[in-house]
Amino acid sequence: MPEYRISYLVTIPWMILLAVLFVLQRRSSNKQTETTSDEDLVNPAPTNGEADLDATLSGEGHEAMADS
C-alpha cells in the first residue's frame, strides 16, 4: 500500500538504530561491571537510605527528625 511506504522507510532503520544502541549500551555496562574492584563489592558505599538508617541507629540526626 503506497500510503504506508513512509512508515516502513522510517520504522525499519529506527529499529535497527535502537538495536545497535542497545547492544552498545550492554557492552558498556558489562565493561563497567568488570572494572569494579573486589573491595567495592565487599564494602559498597552506603546509599542515602542506608546512611540515614545508620545515623538514626547511632542516635544522630534526632534534631533533624524533630524539625520535620
Enumerate residues 6+ apart whose C-beta is below 8 A from 56. Answer: 65
User: For residue 9, what pLDDT band results from cuts at 50, 70 and 90?
Assistant: very high
- Residues listed for the chain: 68
Average pLDDT of the chain is: 74
pLDDT above 90 (res 18): yes
Contacts of 54 (CB under 8 A, 6+ apart): 46
Question: Measured between alpha carbons, how far is 37 from 29 in angstroms, rounded to an integer?
Answer: 15
Share of the chain above pLDDT 90, in %: 31
CB 61 within 8 A of CB 53: no
Q: pTM, whole model, 2 decimals?
A: 0.43
